[in-house]
Structure 1
């Protein structure tokens, strides 16, 4: 429900418009929470139902079902459930935790060190601008970098390009793979929780579908943006801080 807005620009009219604006934001937030809860319930229901069926079958037909196979399959299912729950907790903490005091960080140094200390299944080529300072949470930004690198490695054919540059008002991190790319109509969808395109499901059937949603939540909390932009080949993720 909204309050009536009287004409004019006096204090009563301004108060009514402010109240309605606040109510609209509240309604949007509640609707977003409802949609998120619905999606989470669906994503958790499927593996739980599968686990229940496996265990029930083992009890009903003990002579026909190999218990070792059942336990092994059930363990895989519970590992997937644990991964989903862990990522959901990360996403919830980012969205609900009070903002922490940001620290000055050298973005280029952070990127260079993380790439150098981790094993990569696909070669990663870097082209960086030194001494780019941003304000943020180091652990969270490392998580964003690793999520984007894992996503790029999943789809790259031969290599990944990582660049850091500086504009007048932003530090820009770009991660580009040379895979098949992402269709323009899917470029915003992939940042929604549990959205996984067919190619992603095929290449990583055990994924949770929350990695890019976490990236978007972290960068938004840092007052930045992360988007997918046009590239001659493959997908090009661009983070601006």
Structure 2
């Protein structure tokens, strides 16, 4: 049992502040060796998750600090120089800032729930019907064309998938020049949804960055200055929770978002 004692001693040294340590792995393939290897794999996953949380907290703090500091400065000036500051302008600007803060906080709560909450019981969803219904509600903005190929059914959370589709459609209509196209197809084991616009597109080196929280390209900030920068991060979290993928692929023109979800066996 000496290897067990060594594993126990090393485990006792590991703390949340330093998850880089690993337990000693004895040679061989017996139960103790398998336990050590499994423990190290678990520690590696835990270290990656904690590091991700730290980075996310740092990014959130940075994104919230700027609007809060701006709001504080506006209100402080109104108090220090009441005769020089237009109170209505200050209140209007402060209200706009608080609305942006509220949007960021609401999206952060959604993202946190998707990542940490236990998944709801999935239900069969016909993606073709879901897309048709969602597109039919979009009576304003750039026209959206749909192309579906029969019944394509997946298991999932309907509200969450509608949220992803709505986010992609809003983005596509915002950047499109004349039209947006949504298609559903199927491979041997996956449903494939594509949302394509005919706008300026997204450069290859930015196609992964836009899924990170608070990453907003210059064109996106210009077209939607009040956005939170969390829409695509939430969309990827939802699709990942559904055991699928969402990527930006090459297109002759504009941006082409591609979602792949497992079909019901």
Query: Under TM normalisation by the shorter chain, which class is it?
Result: over 0.9
Residues 78-135 of structure 1: per-residue CA shift (max 9 Å, x gap): 0000000000011011111101211001110000011102233111111111211111
Matched residues in 1 for 2:160 and 2:81: separation? 48
In structure 2, distance between residues paired with 1:81 and 1:218: 23
- Partner residue in 1 for 2:9: none
Equivalent residues in 2 for 1:54-65 (5 A)?
54-65=74-85
Residue in 2 that maps onto 1:185: 205
Q: For 2:103, which of 83, 104, 122 is the aligned residue?
A: 83
1:126 paired to 2:146: yes
How far apart, CA to CA, are the structure 2 residues paired with 1:147 and 1:45?
26
The residue number in structure 2 matching 1:22 is: 42
Shift of 1:166: 1.2
Asked if structure 2 preserves the Cα contact closer than 8 Å seen for 1:124 and 1:162, the reply is yes
Task: Give the TM-score normalised by the residue count of structure 2.
Answer: 0.89
| Equivalent runs, 1:1-241 vs 2, <5 Å | 1-241=21-261
**TM superposition outliers: structure 1 runs of 4+ over 6 Å:** none
Are the counterparts in 2 of residues 109 and 130 from structure 1 also a CA contact under 8 Å? Answer: no
Q: Give the root-mean-square deviation of aligned CA atoms.
A: 0.8
SS at match of 1:100: coil
Counting matched residue pairs gives 241
Residue 185 of structure 1 deviates from its aligned partner by 1.2
Provide the C-alpha distance between the structure 1 equivalents of 2:214 and 2:175, rounded to a whole number of angstroms.
18
